[in-house]
Chains A and B, each alone.
Chain A
């Protein structure tokens, strides 16, 4: 089954010596493009989903319904593992138990839960607050208890660095790992030294680094991240910012010039896009059943 394969692949990647390099896909199309150009895993996350689905900032307006619908669209569009941002779990341990079943059933490879209060903020925004550690460990335990496959990976994310400092973030994360988190993530350290301290604190656990352009954490290359000891890199906003830029450019031209002719060399062509999006495959699928021979 595809879901079993995706989970197993993702787990093998996370526990290998190679860096798991993930981009956040705002939607199914961008996920398919990422798969096409060579990404081995996809992330579905709040900042991009709130932007693409609601045209809203990442401030807790995208609820479980919006997030899980988007995750399902992305999972169904690609044949590589999709890891999911489950935010705070959208409630308490009972909500967490429900969402683990939903994401596992749809074929996601795993998810992360974070310790912010709800409604949450993007990890690189100001004004964050965190719940007591025990609230988060209870959620992680509920997530682990609810999963049906051990290789559906649960990651802990702490936002405590900005609120309580580096040491608290590391302490919390140690307890989150003890509560069952297979993978760990400390959000938004503001310098490379602290990033190094984080990754050095977890020699036996895959740790994720989050690379946001113009965010609070210095932007490092995948090579640097891997050398520091991180197992996973995620690039959550690159597609939001680049598609916003491209859309703005071409639409401005259309308003001002009334034509797209100056931008044609920056676009995919009609036949190329049709080929990429799978028109030939769809036509072949239809044809397969049109020509079914029935001896009746």
Chain B
């Protein structure tokens, strides 16, 4: 199913996109009438590999997961292409494979390859390289309704001025349908939230940051939550472990 770009770029009309790792989580959020979900590397790596580094998963493995989701679900799935898994060439084929596997939208971030989850491991790619990847992803799409999300992860590297300059460039040159801010620390979220009141800007938030970012998150035209379903499962699993242990001990 197709997504509507206006759902993601209208300030004051925020669309919340929960992160998923598999068909089960997608089904849960569909029951809750979420209009789209975000199949992302962080949740998939945690669920399938019990690790926390999004860069460990390959695009072929992501696409396989996506196709499993598509077997029973019609909820539009936005898929994390990370930093394109290489350069503009790999981005082209990854984005195409994701769209053919059913993605309604694809997110590309501006890190070098491999993309990382931990803030301290992030290295930003030259902007020209990021732009080339976005162009390649767009060119690879068959369906004009497939949305392209550009995720800027390098606020700590290029600062607020660099961030604004990048957003302006991406919008002016129509390089992506939606611009997202990723790896936003509590320190800078207020600044970004003010910017987002006048400019369409989405936020990618990790589960751990949810509480800190919450007071500012309303300003963003969309919020992608990564890691929330994995965190909820871990809590439930721990409870189950304790219950079963208690039964064994009795």
Contact = CB atoms under 8 A, between A and B. Distances in A.
Interface of A: 56, 59-61, 63-66, 69, 90-92, 94-95, 98, 118-119
B39 to A, nearest CB: 15
> Quick one: which of B86, B93, B114 has the most chain A CB within 10 A?
B86
Given A65-B60, A98-B49, A98-B56, A91 B89 contact: no
A59 B58 CA distance: 16
A119 B56 contact: no
A61 B51 CA distance: 25
A173 B28 CA distance: 52
A94 B89 contact: no
Nearest to A63: B58
Interface in B20-70: 49, 51, 53, 55-56, 58-61, 63-64
B89 A61 contact: yes
Contacts of B210: none
Contacts of A98: 49, 51, 56
A140 B60 CA distance: 24
B87 interface: yes
B86 to A, nearest CB: 4
B113 interface: yes
A219 B187 CA distance: 62
A59 B51 CA distance: 29
Contacts of B101: none
B14 interface: no
Interface string B146-185: 0000000000000000000000000000000000000000
Interface of B is mostly: helix
Given A60-B86, A119-B87, A119-B89, A66 B114 contact: no
A118 B113 contact: yes
Given A95-B114, A118-B113, A63 B89 contact: no
A65 B89 contact: no
Given A59-B89, A98-B56, 16 more contacts: A60-B89, A61-B93, A63-B58, A63-B85, A65-B59, A65-B60, A65-B61, A90-B58, A91-B56, A91-B113, A92-B114, A94-B53, A95-B55, A98-B49, A98-B51, A119-B86
B73 interface: no
Nearest to B63: A65
Nearest to A69: B60
Contacts of B49: 98
B231 interface: no
